């Protein structure tokens, strides 16, 4: 009996030692550097250069971190946004030719000018001149407006052809409309850089359809990126209770929400008893229970050679980053990283190959992950 107890104890101790060695190995790979503190719910991150970073605060300001210092003064000229529920100043992306044209794109929720009870997702572009945003133009406005302050999407990415993809969430209470083409709920939108509609969008000639739609059947899409050669568009979206998805976005495809889903409603009710159907796309990965995926980057840097070609997905619950290893477009592994920092709102690759994290809090932080050398 005593011998057996001793054996089991030794086994348990060995297991813990192995875990310790494993954890230490990973701790040695990287370290955290705090770039800025005291940001009010940092959301979107864009790099003017490696040492000059723009950060949207959900509460409505566009801030600048320069050489490791958060500037007191925020960018002026940013339109007012609606900070309520899940809404606020959110997505940010630079024009691919920003060096020359200085165009910056912002996605945010705003009150409907015609009815103060309603609100919508709006995308604008403006020219960044010093600390001012000028020449504001509306690029996209989701229609119809909604009563809820939830599920905006509000992420953007430029494709190699110069068009802009915008994620537009299902507004929570309008989920069935994600299956209809006459509205912008639960859609990936594709527009030209000036907001005009590309002629090769899939539904431009479909009667009654919104011509900006690129794909449909989505829920709350808070991550959209392209791979290094721009040939694949990855998108992730929040599921309800379970059913967060990682998808490959293709022109005109239906991703199924809410007709098929791996999640259930917050009340416990089935949203749909179906998980697949012909003509509706399957995710390349899904999570049950939910991790609340909040941001994504495709890592193509040189600072972490082992991570090259991986997707990094920030997760609000329980608060970590998932490194998704890919073989082509197939998910082969998932590694949980940076799980000591709290709710992580976004993860972005910096020009120098480091990763930058936005920590979601009233006193949020921007943290850079660099090799531990």
Partner 1 sequence: MIDRVKKVGFLFLAILLVSFLVGAQTTVFNLIWLSSIDMPVTFGVLISSIYHDFVLMTLTPSTPPLPPLPLLPTIISLGLFIAFGFTWIFLKWIGIQKKYAYGIAAAMALVFIVYLMPLLFFGIDMLAGARSPVGKISLIICGYLGGHFFGSRLSKV
The contact set with partner 1 (CB under 8 A) reads 84-86, 147-150, 172-173, 176, 179, 241, 259, 264-274, 277
Of residues 87 and 353, the one with the C-beta less far from partner 1: 87
Q: How far is the CB of 264 from partner 1 (least distance, A)?
A: 7
What are the b/e assignments for 254-273, b being 16+ CB within 10 Å?
Answer: bbbbbbbbbbbeeeeeebbe
**Which token pair is 63?**
């801030």
Work out how close the CB of 87 gets to partner 1 at its nearest, in angstroms, rounded to a whole number.
9
Nearer to partner 1, 139 or 292 (CB): 292
Query: Partners of 79 in the beta sheet?
Result: none
State the minimum distance, in angstroms, from the CB of residue 263 to partner 1: 12
Bridge partners, residue 26, by sequence? none
Cα separation, 195 vs 254, in Å, equals 23
List of residues 6+ apart from 140 with CB closer than 8 A: 121, 122, 123, 166, 189, 191, 195, 212
Residue 132 or 173: the one with the smaller Cβ distance to partner 1 is 173
In the block, which residue shows the tokens 């009870």? 117
Q: How far is the CB of 179 from partner 1 (least distance, A)?
A: 6
Rounded distance, CA 125 to CA 49, Å?
A: 19
- Do you find a cis peptide bond into 371, omega within 30 degrees of 0? no
Does 151 qualify as catalytic in the annotation? yes
**Between β-strands 233-238 and 244-248, what pairing exists: parallel, antiparallel or unpaired?**
antiparallel
Residue 178 C-beta: closest distance to partner 1, Å: 11
Q: Phi/psi at 217 (nearest 5 deg)?
A: 80, 35
Least gap, CB of 127 to partner 1 (angstroms)? 34
Q: Residue 153 and residue 220: Cα distance in Å, rounded? A: 5
Query: Catalytic: which of 151, 184, 218, 238?
Result: 151
Give the Cα separation of 262 and 178 in Å (integer). 16
Q: Are 185 and 122 a contacting pair, CB within 8 Å? A: no
Beta carbons of 308 and 323 less than 8 angstroms apart: no
Task: Say whether 82 sits in a helix, a strand or coil.
Answer: coil
- 3-class DSSP state for residue 253? coil
Task: Give min distance, CB of 265 to partner 1, in A.
Answer: 6
Which is nearer to partner 1, 208 or 268 (by Cβ)?
268
- By beta-carbon proximity to partner 1, the closer residue of 170 and 237 is 170
Residues with catalytic function: 151
């Amino acid at each position: 009996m005593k011998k057996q107890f001793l054996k089991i104890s030794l086994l348990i101790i060995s297991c813990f030692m192995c875990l310790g060695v494993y954890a230490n190995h990973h701790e040695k790979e990287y370290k955290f550097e705090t770039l800025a503190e005291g940001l009010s719910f940092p959301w979107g991150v864009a790099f003017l250069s490696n040492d000059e970073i723009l950060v949207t605060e959900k509460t409505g300001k566009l801030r600048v971190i320069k050489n490791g210092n958060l500037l007191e003064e925020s960018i002026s000229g940013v339109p007012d946004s609606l900070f309520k529920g899940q809404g606020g100043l959110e997505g940010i992306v630079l024009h691919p030719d920003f060096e020359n044209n200085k165009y910056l794109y912002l996605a945010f929720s705003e009150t409907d000018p015609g009815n103060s009870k309603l609100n919508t997702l709006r995308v604008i572009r403006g020219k960044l001149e010093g600390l001012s945003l000028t020449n504001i133009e509306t690029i996209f406005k989701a229609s119809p407006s909604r009563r809820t302050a939830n599920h905006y999407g509000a992420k953007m990415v430029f494709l190699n052809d110069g068009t802009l993809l915008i994620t537009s969430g299902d507004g929570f209470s309008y989920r069935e409309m994600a299956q209809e083409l006459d509205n912008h709920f639960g859609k990936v939108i594709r527009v030209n850089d000036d907001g005009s509609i590309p002629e090769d969008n899939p539904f431009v000639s479909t009667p009654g359809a919104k011509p900006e739609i690129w794909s449909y059947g989505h829920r709350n899409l808070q991550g959209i990126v392209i791979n290094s050669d721009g040939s694949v568009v990855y998108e992730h979206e929040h599921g309800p209770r379970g059913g967060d998805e990682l998808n490959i976005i293709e022109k005109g495809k239906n991703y199924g929400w809410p007709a098929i889903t791996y999640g259930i409603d917050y009340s416990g009710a089935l949203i749909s008893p179906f998980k697949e159907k012909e003509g509706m796309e399957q995710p390349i990965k899904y999570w049950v229970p939910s991790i609340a995926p909040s941001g994504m980057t495709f890592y193509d840097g040189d600072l972490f050679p082992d991570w090259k070609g991986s997707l990094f997905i920030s997760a609000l619950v329980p608060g970590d980053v998932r490194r998704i290893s890919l073989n082509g477009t197939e998910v082969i592994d998932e590694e949980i990283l940076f799980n000591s920092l709290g709710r992580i709102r976004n993860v972005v690759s910096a020009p120098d190959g480091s990763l930058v994290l936005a920590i979601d809090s009233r006193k949020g932080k921007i943290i850079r992950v660099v090799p531990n050398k």
